[in-house]
């Protein structure tokens, strides 16, 4: 009997040893989860961080708790309306501004860009572009035009558009070459309809905005 008892003790010790090697006994509670890591150098509560914005200009303008200087140039705008729009269609408006922002103590560290404002019958929608993003916007306007001209055969009963999205702005041209639209990115999220002449005017205004920013160091 004593021999059997000793064997039982040894078996129990062996089982405990094996469970210990596996990490923990089956009855043990799981180890506490590691705390979520916090990015080093992150902004405190209520302070916006760069990833929230598509542009450096937006990020700079949105920072609270300090004085920022903003220089805004009214480059110009135009009334936008599709050629095939109904007579009572109110149309919309497109306006372009050049913007430079900086802190008074650091006038040489300016953040520059363009502010594009679309106005329809309901509201204004504003889109920002850093100065180095304006060439992409200009290329987008040309790219959608070329694409619609390259793909003229539209399936029956379909609306075909070439679409380019940048910073939340949807630039679209219709396959019928009658124009297109600008709007919030999303399926058929049209804000302002443009005819081909409107697109040319927009290109001219964006180019003038670039020149204005380049002149103001």
Residue 106 belongs to domain with CATH number: 2.30.31
Per-residue model confidence (pLDDT) at position 91: 85
Domain membership flag for residue 106: yes
The tally of domains found in the chain comes to 1
Residue with tokens 């396959």: 175
Per-residue model confidence (pLDDT) at position 28: 42
How confident is the prediction for the chain on average, in pLDDT?
80
Residue 26 has pLDDT above 70, yes or no: no
pLDDT band of residue 200 (cuts 50, 70, 90) is: very high
Per-residue model confidence (pLDDT) at position 156: 84
Domain membership flag for residue 36: no
Q: Which of 214, 193, 62 is nearest to 134 (CA)?
A: 214
Distance CA 184, CA 192 (A): 10
Domain membership flag for residue 18: no
Domain membership flag for residue 28: no
Domain membership flag for residue 185: yes
Domain membership flag for residue 165: yes
Domain membership flag for residue 186: yes
Domain range enclosing 171: 51-215
**Contact partners, residue 198, CB within 8 Å, separation at least 6:** 78, 80, 81, 94, 179
Domain membership flag for residue 182: yes
Segment 32-49 shows an average pLDDT of 42
Q: What is the pTM of this model?
A: 0.73
């Amino acid at each position: 009997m004593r021999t059997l008892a000793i064997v039982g003790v040894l078996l129990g010790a062996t089982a405990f040893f094996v469970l210990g090697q596996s990490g923990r006994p089956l009855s043990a509670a799981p180890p506490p989860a590691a705390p979520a890591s916090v990015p080093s150098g992150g902004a405190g509560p209520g302070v916006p961080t760069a990833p929230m914005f598509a542009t450096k200009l937006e990020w700079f303008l949105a920072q609270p708790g300090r004085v920022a200087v903003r220089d805004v140039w009214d480059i110009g705008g135009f009334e936008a309306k599709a050629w095939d729009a109904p007579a009572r269609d109110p149309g919309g408006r497109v306006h372009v501004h050049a913007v430079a922002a900086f802190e008074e103590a650091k006038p040489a560290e300016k953040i520059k860009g363009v502010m594009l404002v679309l106005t329809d019958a309901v509201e204004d929608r504003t889109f920002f572009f850093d100065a180095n993003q304006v060439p992409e916007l200009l290329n987008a306007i040309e790219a959608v035009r070329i694409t619609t001209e390259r793909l003229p055969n539209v399936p029956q009963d379909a609306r075909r558009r070439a679409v380019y999205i940048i910073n939340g702005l949807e630039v679209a041209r219709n396959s019928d070459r009658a124009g297109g639209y600008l709007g919030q990115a999303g399926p058929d999220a049209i804000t302002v309809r443009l005819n081909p002449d409107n697109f040319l005017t927009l290109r001219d205004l964006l180019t003038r905005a670039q020149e204005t920013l380049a002149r103001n160091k």
